[in-house]
A and B are shown apart, each in its own frame.
Chain A
């Protein structure tokens, strides 16, 4: 009910914006129409504009959430930065054609791909994003869903030419960056309806964090998620493990890790620079 209301209001807002735009460009439209139909007789034929340009002037740029897709940040390697800048050019070119929205691990996406083996050529899959990996053009993300009781994970490449549409049905973050433990969690946490309607999300402010803690199936799991190297906060360990088992898992803790200076990789200045470059090129 609330979702329907918000989607309705969003549609109305959208319509209002389009109408406002039309009224603003009325003068432009009318002169162009007159110029075209000077030779023809009768009333000027209405030629609709090619695409409605929705310029959202209510939000200022500074208040928009600053998001740089993680695949733009180059890994810490001894590679010539020329290679990364050229790859970034290709990525920006692809982004101008295909809209790749902002999403995180834990958001629910619907992806449409071309598939030669399907009758209608398009293949749509809805799922929760459990992992975003890869840098540069080979960036991938894995969507998970449970279809007819069978868990299905599909790894999609963001920049593949077969990618047709990526929609974010629900934008949210979870307590972890990597949700691979959903494979060992109860199936209810990975099931999402294919006909799910997109939930409205704000483009300003912080991304909502879902503080859900997931209940697990009995052990053995595919990985020992209780070990500190995975650093998982989104599992209800108190329901599946005893305090002794938790203590035993702490044997594999590496308390020196946060102090290891050689493993530090400060990307803040790089991120700023790349963000500005990407925004500038996308606007061109």
Chain B
């Protein structure tokens, strides 16, 4: 009989950007009385720790080229706060904290059945209990603690990253534009006025029991039916929605927080998917980003807070 022991060593604090998570596995073989073939089963997969240190590195780091797409992040929506420009205009920003974001799997072009390769990224750490075995296996192969949210990012071939790499908030820089996708707040079963913005009927002047109803459902005898997709009452919210073209005002590298302009779908403490904006008018601002991502063990020294040029920094002395 063989027994396999697996041990997980988790990161102490998700807030600090530290070394990548290490997972120790000890495949132990129990000495049994009966002469049974003992095999040490280890999880040897395509991705192993020192692959990228060898000569034929399957995960090379390329330079940014126009037309290449890089990974995004999974962040937690913390809340909102005001931000002022140097000229005194007030804007509101949403704070998105990148908590334990890791690349979990790489799917090549053929595997992904698309025209581009894909990278699956995981968000916040969660407990491995009460979760199906199949779900935990993906993380075990990558050597990463189980995550609450997994998303897929379509990525160009020069931007692939080795699974197990942590991703940080410095992946995005101030002045860049991002798209944020999240599940909207569920509103339950809602009427047609709230759900679709219908005008309803007047409150008085003879209206009998008709104030918030949809009214007519379409033309008369010719189609003699209600068209598919007719806007009617139903469940509202709790669907994925994307807000495009949000400017990044500030990046806090110590706590991994992105300050993103305007509002973002989802409630507080929900997980959101952040990626570079696909709007054609914002491509100018997204040039020369950290490519394929920002590596914490690299030589680049970045300050604790990165601000946009126009943003007013609170410690600035007042100009007389």
Chain A positions near chain B (C-beta within 8 angstroms): 77-80, 82-83, 86-87, 90-91, 93-94, 96-98, 114, 116, 136-138, 157, 159-162, 164
Q: Is B295 among interface residues, defined by CB-CB distance under 8 A?
A: no
Besides A80-B79, A97-B315, A161-B86, 15 more A-B contacts (Cβ < 8 Å) are: A80-B268, A82-B255, A83-B79, A86-B255, A87-B81, A94-B315, A97-B316, A97-B318, A138-B81, A138-B82, A157-B90, A160-B90, A161-B88, A161-B312, A161-B318
Contact status B15-A82, CB under 8 Å:
yes
Specify the chain A residue showing the minimal Cβ separation from B76: A80
Which chain B residues lie closer than 8 Å to A94 at the CB level? 314-315
Q: Is B47 among interface residues, defined by CB-CB distance under 8 A?
A: no
A161 to B89, CA, bound (A): 9
Q: Is B294 among interface residues, defined by CB-CB distance under 8 A?
A: no
* Residues 284-320 of chain B, each 1 if its beta carbon lies under 8 Å from chain A, else 0: 0000000000000000000000000000101111100
Chain B proximity of A205: nearest CB distance (Å): 32
Could you give 5 example pairs across A and B, Cβ below 8 Å? A78-B268, A79-B78, A82-B97, A157-B82, A160-B84
Chain B proximity of A283: nearest CB distance (Å): 16
Which chain B residues lie closer than 8 Å to A137 at the CB level? 81-82
Q: Is B257 among interface residues, defined by CB-CB distance under 8 A?
A: yes
Chain B proximity of A266: nearest CB distance (Å): 22
Which chain B residues lie closer than 8 Å to A79 at the CB level? 78-79, 268-269
- Given A82-B15, A161-B86, the answer on whether A97 and B79 have CB atoms closer than 8 Å is no
A116 to B87, CA, bound (A): 9
- Given A78-B268, A161-B84, the answer on whether A86 and B314 have CB atoms closer than 8 Å is no
Chain B proximity of A109: nearest CB distance (Å): 18
Contact status B88-A114, CB under 8 Å:
yes
Specify the chain A residue showing the minimal Cβ separation from B313: A93
Contact status B90-A82, CB under 8 Å:
no
The 7 closest A-B pairs by CB, nearest first: A93-B314, A94-B314, A83-B78, A93-B315, A161-B312, A162-B88, A83-B79
A97 to B313, CA, bound (A): 11
Contact status B318-A164, CB under 8 Å:
yes
> Which residues of B65-89 are within 8 A (CB) of A?
76, 78-79, 81-82, 84, 86, 88
A91 to B81, CA, bound (A): 12
Which chain B residues lie closer than 8 Å to A97 at the CB level? 314-318
Q: Is B242 among interface residues, defined by CB-CB distance under 8 A?
A: no
Contact status A90-B78, CB under 8 Å:
no
Contact status A80-B316, CB under 8 Å:
no
Chain A proximity of B85: nearest CB distance (Å): 8
Q: Is B252 among interface residues, defined by CB-CB distance under 8 A?
A: yes
Chain A proximity of B101: nearest CB distance (Å): 16
Residue B314 contacts which of A77, A90, A116, A157 (CB distance < 8 angstroms)? A90
Chain B proximity of A34: nearest CB distance (Å): 32
* Residues 232-256 of chain B, each 1 if its beta carbon lies under 8 Å from chain A, else 0: 0000000000000000000010010
A78 to B76, CA, bound (A): 13
Specify the chain B residue showing the minimal Cβ separation from A77: B268
Which chain B residues lie closer than 8 Å to A116 at the CB level? 88
A137 to B84, CA, bound (A): 10
Contact status A86-B90, CB under 8 Å:
no
Q: Is B260 among interface residues, defined by CB-CB distance under 8 A?
A: no
- Given A114-B88, A161-B88, A162-B88, the answer on whether A80 and B97 have CB atoms closer than 8 Å is yes
Which chain A residues lie closer than 8 Å to B81 at the CB level? 83, 87, 136-138
Chain B proximity of A273: nearest CB distance (Å): 19
Chain B proximity of A140: nearest CB distance (Å): 10
Which chain A residues lie closer than 8 Å to B160 at the CB level? none
Chain A proximity of B142: nearest CB distance (Å): 26
Specify the chain B residue showing the minimal Cβ separation from A98: B318
Chain B proximity of A243: nearest CB distance (Å): 37
A83 to B268, CA, bound (A): 11
From B15, B79, B84, B97, name the one whose CB has the most chain A CB atoms within 10 angstroms. Answer: B79
A260 to B252, CA, bound (A): 40
Which chain A residues lie closer than 8 Å to B312 at the CB level? 161
A80 to B84, CA, bound (A): 23
Q: Is B95 among interface residues, defined by CB-CB distance under 8 A?
A: yes
Specify the chain A residue showing the minimal Cβ separation from B15: A82
